[in-house]
């Protein structure tokens, strides 16, 4: 789709109770706004509205559904473009957002809403996300003065097999991007639900860091996370998992990359997904 002069754009993530996640989203929305020449508003699906406004520069975080309602109350026949900041087809995009949009449409039947695709399509050969992560690995290795480290690409973990497919797809692309620069590459999830039906998330990061070849030597933890928060931020869940593994495995040294939302190439990638937006 093309963005009309009256189209309102919302860049949205899942949301976080950490202020730094919302601030990261806002910076990315501002950069995308500059790139597109239209206003792009930063909103979340959940959680972020519970963060103190004092921690957010005095501006409270907004959630997507209330933001849509507020907009359509003043423009009931308006058009909105939703831009998801998600790697793959999580339940947030395939179930939660459609359900909330049905509720909004029940109130505003003439409203028009389109949504761009998520960031990674496993049917495409686009390697831009993998290239961003590869560069984060290189920066991290240089800072530590590590030559040919091992690399573990880590995502959050999901009850959706298609999301794990995205992680595996990125892992293969990352292997191609880094080539002989690294000793070994693996993929892992931070967490998973109990039960054999969710085993597609394996291995967990905690297990991978206790299993050769990643249980010793220099290991870069390549974060498949967009923004810092309680999982990927300093002192977060992943850092604790790494510290615990280092305490148990003699000779293991880990270092996390930065999340990727600060890379300017992500702005161009988001912009390139907009023409693929479809009515939802």
Looking at the predicted structure, is the pLDDT value of residue 3 above 90? no
Residue ranges of domains in the chain: 8-120+262-279, 128-256
The answer regarding whether domain 128-256 maps to CATH 3.40.50.1400 reads yes
More confident residue, 6 or 143: 143
pLDDT digits (tens, 9 = 90+) for 139-159: 999 999 999 999 999 999 999
Q: What is the predicted pLDDT for the residue at 227?
A: 86
Distance of CA 57 to the CA centre of its chain: 23
pTM score, two decimals?
Answer: 0.93
Class in CATH terms, 8-120+262-279: alpha beta
What is the distance between the alpha carbons of residues 216 and 202, in angstroms, rounded to a whole number? 20
Mean pLDDT for 127-137 is: 98
Q: What is the predicted pLDDT for the residue at 156?
A: 94
Of 201, 191, 203, 167, nearest to 89 by C-alpha is 167
What is the distance between the alpha carbons of residues 48 and 249, in angstroms, rounded to a whole number? 37
Same fold, 8-120+262-279 and 128-256: yes
pLDDT digits (tens, 9 = 90+) for 152-197: 999 999 999 999 999 999 999 999 999 999 999 999 999 999 999 9
What residue ranges in 30-127 does DSSP mark as E strands? 40-44, 79-84, 112-115
Classify residue 119 by burial, with Cβ atoms within 10 Å: 0-12, 13-18, 19+.
buried
Q: What is the predicted pLDDT for the residue at 53?
A: 95
- Long-range contacts (CB closer than 8 Å, 24 or more residues apart) made by 105-111: 107/69, 107/72, 108/72, 108/76, 110/76, 110/77, 111/68, 111/72, 111/76, 111/77, 111/78, 111/79, 111/80
- Report yes or no: 81 and 10 within 8 Å, Cβ to Cβ: yes
pLDDT band at 235 (very low <50, low <70, confident <90, very high): confident
């Amino acid at each position: 789709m093309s963005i009309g002069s009256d189209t309102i754009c919302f860049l949205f993530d899942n949301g976080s109770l950490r202020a730094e996640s919302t601030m990261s989203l806002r910076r990315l929305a501002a950069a995308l706004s500059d790139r597109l020449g239209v206003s792009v508003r930063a909103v979340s699906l959940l959680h972020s509205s519970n963060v103190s406004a004092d921690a957010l520069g005095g501006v409270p975080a907004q959630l997507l559904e209330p933001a849509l309602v507020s907009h359509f109350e003043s423009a009931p026949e308006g058009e909105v473009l939703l831009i998801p900041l998600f790697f793959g087809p999580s339940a947030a995009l395939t179930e939660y957002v459609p359900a909330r949009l049905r509720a909004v449409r029940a109130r505003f039947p003439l409203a028009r809403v389109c949504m761009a695709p998520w960031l990674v399509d496993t049917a495409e050969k686009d390697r831009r996300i993998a290239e961003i992560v590869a560069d984060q690995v290189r920066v991290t290795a240089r800072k530590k003065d590590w030559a040919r480290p091992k690399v573990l690409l880590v995502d959050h973990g999901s009850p959706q097999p298609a999301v794990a497919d995205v992680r595996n797809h990125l892992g293969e692309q990352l292997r191609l991007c880094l080539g002989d620069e690294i000793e070994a590459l693996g993929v892992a999830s931070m967490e998973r639900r109990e039960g054999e039906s969710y085993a597609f998330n394996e291995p967990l990061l905690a297990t991978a860091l206790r299993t050769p070849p990643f249980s010793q030597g220099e290991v870069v933890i390549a974060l498949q996370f967009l923004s810092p928060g309680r999982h990927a931020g300093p002192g977060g869940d992943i850092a604790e998992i790494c510290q615990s593994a280092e305490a148990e495995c003699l000779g293991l040294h880990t270092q996390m990359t930065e999340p990727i939302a600060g890379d300017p190439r992500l702005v161009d990638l988001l912009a390139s997904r907009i023409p693929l937006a479809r009515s939802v």
